[in-house]
Chains A and B, each alone.
Chain A
Amino acid sequence: MKRNAFTLLELLLANMLIAILLAALLLLISSLSREQKKITAALDQDPTSSILALLRHDLSNSESARALPNQRGFILTGHAGLDPRSLTPTDRRARVIYEIRRRANVLCLIREQSYLDDPIKPQRFEQLIATNVTSLSVSGTSASTPVEDDELNIEDTAAFTLSSSVSIHLGMPNHAINQELFLR
């Protein structure tokens, strides 16, 4: 006997699969905008981009920088003050130290801040920026002039004025980021 049609079982299975596919498609369409928001939020929380955003803020608001030896970090002097509680910019005169320090056998990038405009209450605080950072350095790329920095007594390196752009090197075990930041 010649069969010209599908069996009932085949049709039921096909219908079921079509229904599943349609549901998946609908779910995908409805979740597209949600997915996009999630991805954008995840990008905002991406450790590398958040480190670079913080560095950009601090460098843009600073006047001079002084490198620490062995690409261990640098010291900024300017108006890069952050509120210790809310971490929002206070625009106050502050010294910011970015330094790679070993904590519990892990290399940690620490941001240390103290206000320079209130010697009685400098509100010194430390903030863990990232772990497993092996090197961090900054260098002026154009028209950087050495400056006298009486507020610090570090003999190893000279302070320099932060010009319109700087080069940042951030070393991590698997990769390194070398970026030129345009500040002003």
Chain B
Amino acid sequence: MPKRRGYILLTTLALLVLSSTLLITLARSTIQRSAEARQSHEDLQRRLGQLSCQRALLPHAETILINQEKLHIRPYPTYRASIQLGAQYFDLVLADEQSKANVNALLDLTDKPRAESQLRTTFSNLAAQIRLHASLTPTSAPTTRPILPRHLSSFGQIFDSTPPQNLLTPRFDKPAPAELLTLWTDGQLNIRRCSPASLSLLNGSLLTQLDIRRLIEVRNTLYSKNPPPPPSATPLPADPIRRLLTLAQLPPNKSNLHLTTTSKTHSLWIIVRDPRRQWYSLAVLDQTDQDHPRPYSFVW
């Protein structure tokens, strides 16, 4: 009987087909598991990165800004940095919230239609509808300071359906909303760091553009190594705000401005980028009541 060795080859090939099918099934399951693991790993890294940045930076924001001011010899209301963790990039924007105009204080000074109109003029280039959705019952506020009714507590209550990137991006010569506005301070504006635009927005009814320019010029001299001598021989007031007003040659009736020289509220925007998308988060820490710091958190 002749040997039929050819069947061995056929059997081997059939086994190869079978094993290939098995391997393909195994490969699919492995791909799925590895995709799950990679996604979980990225999510975990992103969340831990956000929390770490928040906890490491936000409580020390004032120290960081003061150090930057010493280094650059100018007001430093916003500090930007980028870090990389794995394949993810974290863009950080640390800011002094008291260098921005508080919209609740603006609502306190004027009525809703006027405040809306003022904001529309300021952000005329922004592709967003500005409409103040003020709560009738304001959210609770810390009790150890003069209470400013907090009718507005998020940017979503000002800018209708605006993505967070629009809040952070300046358009033409107009500042970004998040650079100019705040909602979480006690309403006082830190004159050491505020911009002319925020000063004009909050105190526009009390100060002329000339007053604002003078005040900002005098403020900027505080940072120079050789400040110019006072204009007259009269002793300057001890209160830093009054002293600044005197140096800016503003009349004494301008002393009811919403100004301060210290900052108690800071914010941190964290933008995480990976090849697929961007995640935005905003954390605010209000340390007005040092025993009970009040955190606010927003995630998009």
Contact of A61 among B16, B157, B297 (CB under 8 A): B297
Question: How near does chain B come to A148, taking the closest CB pair, in angstroms?
Answer: 8
Greatest chain A CB density within 10 A among B39, B152, B299 is at B299
Decide yes or no whether B135 CB sits under 8 A from chain A: yes
User: For the complex, is B13 an interface residue (Cβ under 8 Å from A)?
Assistant: yes
Tell me the bound Cα distance from A184 to B3 in angstroms: 76
Q: Which residues of A contact B2 (CB under 8 A)?
A: 1, 3
**Most chain B beta-carbon contacts within 10 A, residue among A1, A79, A83, A150:** A79
Q: How many chain B residues have a CB neighbour from A under 8 Å?
A: 44
- When distances are taken between beta carbons in the complex, the residues of chain A under 8 Å from B54 are 184
Please tell me if B172 contacts chain A, counting CB pairs below 8 Å.
Answer: no
What residues of A have a CB within 8 angstroms of the CB of B153 in the complex? 79, 93
In the assembled complex, which residues on chain B have CB atoms less than 8 Å from the CB atom of A28?
24, 27
Complex interface residues of chain B between 261 and 300 (CB less than 8 A to chain A): 283, 295, 297-300
Q: Is A119 an interface residue (CB 8 A)?
A: yes
CB of B134 closer than 8 Å to a CB of A: yes
Stretch at the interface among B29-37, B69-77, B235-243: B29-37
B1-44 contact mask (Cβ, 8 Å, vs A): 1 or 0: 01101100110011011001000100110011001100100000
Are B35 and A40 in contact, CB atoms less than 8 angstroms apart?
yes
With A92-B156, A151-B137, A184-B51 in contact, is A79–B36 under 8 Å at CB?
no
B155 proximal to A (CB < 8 A): yes
The residues in B between 90 and 106 inclusive whose CB is less than 8 angstroms from any CB of A are none
Within 8 A of A (CB), among B103-143: 133-137, 139-140
Residue B47, interface by CB 8 Å: yes
- Is A89 located at the chain interface by the 8 A CB criterion? yes
In the complex, A151→B135 CA distance in Å?
11
Contacts of A79 in B (CB 8 A): 153-154, 156, 298
Q: At the interface, yes or no: B255 with Cβ under 8 Å from chain A?
A: no
Closest A residue to B16 by beta carbon equals A21
Q: A7-B6, A61-B298 are in contact. Are A40 and B51 (CB under 8 A)?
A: no
Given contacts A10-B10, A91-B156, contact A43 B137 (CB under 8 A): no
Contact of A60 among B28, B152, B161, B299 (CB under 8 A): B299
Closest CB of chain B to A79's CB: distance in Å? 5
**In the complex, are the beta carbons of A43 and B9 less than 8 A apart?**
no
Give CA–CA (A6, B20) in the complex, Å.
25
A93 and B9 in contact (CB under 8 A), knowing A39-B32, A43-B35, A83-B161? no
Indicate whether A183 reaches chain B with its CB closer than 8 angstroms: yes
Chain A residues in the interface with B (C-beta under 8 A):
1, 3, 6-7, 10, 13-14, 17-18, 20-21, 24-25, 28, 32, 35-36, 39-40, 43, 57, 60-61, 63, 79, 81, 83, 86, 88-93, 115-119, 147-148, 150-151, 182-184
- 5 tightest Cβ-Cβ pairs between the two chains A and B: A91-B156, A10-B6, A117-B133, A184-B297, A92-B156
Can you list 11 A-B contacts with CB-CB less than 8 angstroms, sorted by A residue number?
A14-B9, A21-B20, A24-B20, A43-B39, A83-B161, A88-B161, A90-B156, A91-B298, A119-B136, A183-B297, A184-B51
